[in-house]
């Protein structure tokens, strides 16, 4: 068996690391760099370039140079079409509408998995050259808010590259391993991870070798690329104002603008202003045009102020979900190259009132953590336990269109939970299990991950069969749902695959709508619960009348039946107040029926206890005597 490595498959750069002598070591690329640009390019003859060589020729070959592919992982073309104008290569729809990169040199589309596999293959080859042995297994990191489709795509990319992916772990979790390997004390850590294309905030409890994630939140479409794009847009706007030419229509110009913007962003992290100088950026009527603009740090911070506001929300969400205050955080660690920006560091200080820990290179920390996790799985690293979480709540649809949560968001995984459900009508032969993910109480406001039927339920009155539904999430976040009818043992199950899971935009929409519609959701939930309670009372009262037989006189039976019908009518067509009124009336009638049944039972018991042929002696008279 070959060696196992840890890989940070990044939007801008990727890194590979390995455990050597009990310590994680970052492996340099064949070109001598500790990071590998996540760029793939093709020459006109079809030759493939990966890493720094691909990035170096991007300006002269923009159409055949693919970068930032991680942003399109697990997405359809419709979901990412708005980004087409800011990249030099074309996006086209692949299988199932998947966003793919079109390569003219090959005259075909490449899926994000295929492009990512080329980057992973490069890292694998460089690692094998360094180690002198085969590398066939890996732990690969993903943003904490990557959904199942994106995680599955990442795992597939690893397999295409010839790697057995032992584990997919969250980037902030991996970073905490790198920072916390030698920690002895119990601490609460906040991981602030702003990379090239994604942003995550995670809160972890670390102590005595246990790393437990308490909460995670983020934005899988916020990163250094977006800060670069703000500069690109400003340069385009200023050039158009001065020269009347739209540079976004020139693919080669777009690539040069992107590279210049990235350099300007980096330079502004250490100086107060920078000069963006791009000679011969384009030509009009064979007359060359040059771009020469000065950008100050203040202007850059003004341009990116809306992005900084977007950073705040996941931070506060993670703190709230961890059920703590920002002041309770013991340590803040920064991950990702974008955290080098002064405004980001200043914002983190303001939010946490702490100086961030920068003892590990933010570009390498995730890969180091992945290598440590690989060491844990391989038995090289002892006495460390890693406990991750699931980012959204999971459950099933129940009667009345209610989302019944079995597993709450930020629950530690792996996890397993079961709950008993029943049928809604008499002699119901089967039930449909609708597996949902989200945060809204109304079932159709959440994402349906899959449906399956449990048939073969024996004929029985409503609410008698017992159906046990079990949710089981493994360490990779893969969900299995099963349902079993307890009487007969009949069982069905489903494994939720990537195609059915949420993308980041849907997650954000659900959380946002949950906040905006909290009061409406509460009202709906109360109404649905009232309707369910009313149905149950009507059914129970009807059953009581049926079982009581002649013990209930006809007038009482007729009165109760009319009240049952009134309640059912109110449930179908009425408002909450009408249902509550009809419920109270039937409840009162039901209590009256119960009292009569108890009285009738007492009379029967007394009669049964009386000896034949003897008269009943009055108790008081007997005592006096």
* Model pLDDT for residues 243-270, shown as the tens digit of each residue: 888 888 888 888 899 889 999 999 999 9
The C-alpha atoms of residue 17 and residue 20 are separated, in whole angstroms, by: 9
pLDDT of residue 184: 52
Q: What is the DSSP string of 514-560?
A: HHHTHHHHHHHHHHHHHHHHHHHHHHHHHHHHHHHGGGS-HHHHHHH
Average model confidence (pLDDT) for the chain?
84
Predicted confidence band at 21 (pLDDT cuts at 50, 70, 90)?
confident
Q: What is the arithmetic mean of pLDDT over 277-294? A: 89
14: Cβ contacts below 8 Å, ≥ 6 apart: 7, 8, 35, 36, 37, 38, 119, 120, 123
Q: What is the arithmetic mean of pLDDT over 442-454? A: 83
Cβ-contact 88, 58 below 8 angstroms? yes
Is 50 exceeded by the pLDDT of residue 47?
A: yes
Tell me the three state secondary structure of residue 43.
coil
pLDDT of residue 88: 80
Q: Which of 113, 171, 508, 535 is catalytic?
A: 171
The C-alpha atoms of residue 487 and residue 466 are separated, in whole angstroms, by: 7
pLDDT of residue 183: 59
Is 50 exceeded by the pLDDT of residue 226?
A: yes
Q: What is the arithmetic mean of pLDDT over 222-238? A: 92
Predicted confidence band at 624 (pLDDT cuts at 50, 70, 90)?
very low
Higher pLDDT, 406 or 96: 406
pLDDT of residue 19: 92
In the chain, the percentage of residues whose pLDDT exceeds 90 is 32
Predicted structure pTM score: 0.66
Cβ-contact 155, 140 below 8 angstroms? yes
Cβ-contact 245, 239 below 8 angstroms? yes
Distance of CA 143 to the CA centre of its chain: 10
Q: pLDDT digit string (tens) for 97-131?
A: 888 999 999 898 888 988 998 999 899 989 999 99
Q: Which of 109, 114, 193, 364 is catalytic?
A: 193
**Is position 193 annotated as part of the catalytic site?**
yes
Whether the ω angle into residue 414 lies within 30 degrees of 0, i.e. cis, is yes
Cβ-contact 224, 195 below 8 angstroms? yes
CB-based burial of residue 593 (10 Å sphere; 0-12 exposed, 13-18 middle, 19+ buried)? buried
Is 80 exceeded by the pLDDT of residue 348?
A: yes
Burial track 74-106 (b if 16+ CB lie within 10 A, e otherwise): bbbbebbeebeebbbbebeebeeebbbbbbebe
Distance of CA 571 to the CA centre of its chain: 36
Number of CB atoms found within 10 A of residue 486's CB: 11
Lowest mean pLDDT among 142-156, 281-295, 406-420: 142-156
**Is position 292 annotated as part of the catalytic site?**
no
pLDDT of residue 178: 83
**Is position 226 annotated as part of the catalytic site?**
no
Which regions of 474-526 does DSSP assign to beta strands (E)?
479-485, 491-495
Q: Which of 3, 55, 70, 447 is catalytic?
A: 70
pLDDT of residue 463: 87
């Amino acid at each position: 068996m070959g060696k196992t490595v840890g890989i940070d498959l990044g939007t801008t750069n990727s890194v590979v690391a390995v455990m050597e002598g009990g310590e994680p070591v970052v492996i340099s690329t064949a070109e001598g760099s500790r990071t590998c640009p996540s760029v793939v390019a093709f020459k006109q003859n079809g030759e493939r370039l990966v890493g720094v060589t691909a990035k170096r020729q991007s300006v002269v070959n923009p159409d055949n140079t693919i970068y930032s592919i991680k942003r399109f992982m697990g997405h359809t073309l419709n979901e990412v079409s708005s980004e087409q104008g800011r990249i030099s290569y074309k996006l086209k729809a692949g299988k199932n509408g998947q966003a793919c990169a079109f390569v003219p040199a090959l005259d075909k589309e490449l899926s994000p998995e295929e492009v990512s596999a080329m980057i992973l293959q490069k890292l694998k080859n460089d690692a094998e050259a360094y180690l002198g042995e085969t590398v066939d297994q890996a732990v690969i990191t993903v943003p904490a808010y990557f959904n199942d489709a994106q995680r599955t795509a990442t795992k597939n990319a690893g397999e295409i590259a010839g790697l057995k992916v032992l584990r997919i772990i969250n980037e902030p979790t991996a970073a905490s391993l790198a920072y916390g390997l030698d920690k002895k004390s119990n601490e609460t850590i906040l991981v602030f991870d702003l990379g090239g294309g994604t942003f995550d905030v995670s809160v972890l409890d670390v102590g005595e070798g246990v790393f437990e994630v308490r909460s995670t939140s983020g934005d899988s479409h916020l990163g250094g690329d977006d800060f670069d794009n703000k500069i690109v847009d400003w340069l385009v706007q200023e050039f158009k104002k001065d020269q009347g030419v739209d540079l976004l229509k020139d693919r080669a110009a777009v690539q040069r603008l992107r590279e210049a913007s990235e350099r300007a962003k980096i330079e502004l992290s250490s100086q107060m202003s920078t000069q963006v100088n791009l000679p011969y950026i384009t030509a009009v009527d064979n007359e060359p045009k040059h771009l020469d603009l000065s950008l100050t740090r203040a202007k850059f911070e003004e341009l990116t102020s809306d992005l900084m506001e977007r950073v705040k929300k996941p931070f506060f969400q993670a703190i709230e979900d961890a059920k703590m205050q920002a002041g309770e955080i013991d340590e803040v660690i920064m991950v990702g190259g974008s955290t080098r920006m002064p405004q980001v560091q200043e914002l983190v200080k303001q939010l946490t009132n702490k100086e961030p820990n920068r003892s590990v290179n933010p570009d390498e920390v995730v890969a180091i953590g992945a290598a440590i996790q690989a060491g844990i799985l391989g038995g090289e690293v002892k006495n460390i336990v890693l406990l991750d979480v699931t980012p959204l709540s999971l459950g099933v649809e129940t009667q009345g269109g209610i989302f019944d949560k079995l597993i709450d968001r930020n629950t530690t995984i792996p996890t397993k939970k079961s709950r008993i459900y029943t049928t809604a009508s008499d002699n119901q032969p089967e039930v449909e299990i609708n597996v949902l993910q989200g945060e809204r109480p109304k079932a159709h406001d959440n994402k349906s991950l899959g449906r399956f039927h449990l048939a073969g339920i024996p004929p029985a009155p409503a609410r008698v069969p017992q159906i046990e539904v079990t949710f089981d999430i493994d360490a990779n976040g893969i969900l299995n749902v099963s349902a079993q009818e307890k009487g007969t043992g009949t069982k069905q199950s489903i494994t939720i695959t990537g195609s059915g899971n949420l993308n980041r935009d849907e997650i954000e929409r659900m959380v946002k709508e949950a906040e905006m519609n909290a009061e409406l959701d509460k009202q709906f939930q109360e109404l649905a619960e009232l309707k369910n309670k009313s149905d149950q009372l009507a059914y129970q009262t009807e059953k009581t009348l049926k079982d009581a037989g002649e013990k209930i006189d006809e007038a009482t039976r007729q009165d109760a039946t009319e009240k049952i019908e009134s309640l059912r009518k109110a449930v179908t067509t009425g408002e909450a107040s009408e249902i509550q009124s009809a419920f109270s009336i039937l409840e009162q009638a039901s209590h009256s029926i119960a009292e009569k049944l108890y009285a009738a039972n007492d009379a029967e018991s007394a009669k049964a206890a009386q000896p034949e042929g003897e008269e009943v002696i009055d108790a008081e008279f007997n005592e006096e005597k």
